[in-house]
Structure 1
Amino acid sequence: MLLAYVADENFVKEFGDFLAVLLYLFTPWTAINLVDFYAVRHGKYSISEIFNPNGIYGRWNWRGIGSYIVGFAVMLPFSNTGLYTGYFAEQLGGADISMPIGLAVSALVYLWLCRSQNIQSELTQVRALDINLENGTAH
């Protein structure tokens, strides 16, 4: 409601810009989640460890955060909103191609950074940690 009040007659345009910014913020996050699920961990996570800050996943995933920052930064020159028009978007006549570029860059950077991760060891731990999950006795 505050946005509509401040926007007055430009509400639709400003709301569109707001939605575009949200898409920019979610694009690298989406790429990282998809790569992590399908390419890195192959859908195998420890349900009991997801919310354990001292568990196998830890508090912060520096690979994910780094990939997000790089992907978002690479998107900026290709973005075009009412708030900001990047150099390449301007050169392309206002075309905004930032989201496919952000998806690709974030995904590739995350995949590259995960090369140093010992996924096999983690998958072995996942099986052991969730062995009793179905009968409700997991720790």
Structure 2
Amino acid sequence: MRRIAMVTLAAGVLITTFSLTTTPADAAVGFWRTVGLSGVDAFGFYDTQAAKVTLTFDLKDTKKDGYSAALRFTFTGTKKQKDDVRVVALTGDRLQDKWQTVTSTRLKHMYVQECRGTWKKSKFTIKKCGAWRRHY
């Protein structure tokens, strides 16, 4: 009797743990990393759900050369939705590392572009960018 109770308890704990750690069938979780533009290093995780995508990433400026590191994101949706482009830039010219989050309701594809630019009077101006890279 004790053995049956122990097996039942273990199975219940296993099923509960598995159900809490899995994602729903319509959700996708992924990892991305930047590739190549000198002075910009970034990586992050995206989580697509039924109504939105959440992107959490770490952006690093690896050079002190007068330019700030930045990322441009575009999220595409249906034909009726206008593509959503966002720029996230680190402030100032210093070696820095910052975690950030971006969300969008456009779920079809996510593209990321690494950029370098300058700040002037609280406005960021892009000077150089790498190629757009599709991540999902």
The bucket for the TM-score relative to the shorter chain is under 0.3
More strand by share: 2
More helix by share: 1
Provide the TM-score with structure 2 as the length reference.
0.27
Q: Which has the higher contact order (CA 8 A, sep 6+)?
A: 1
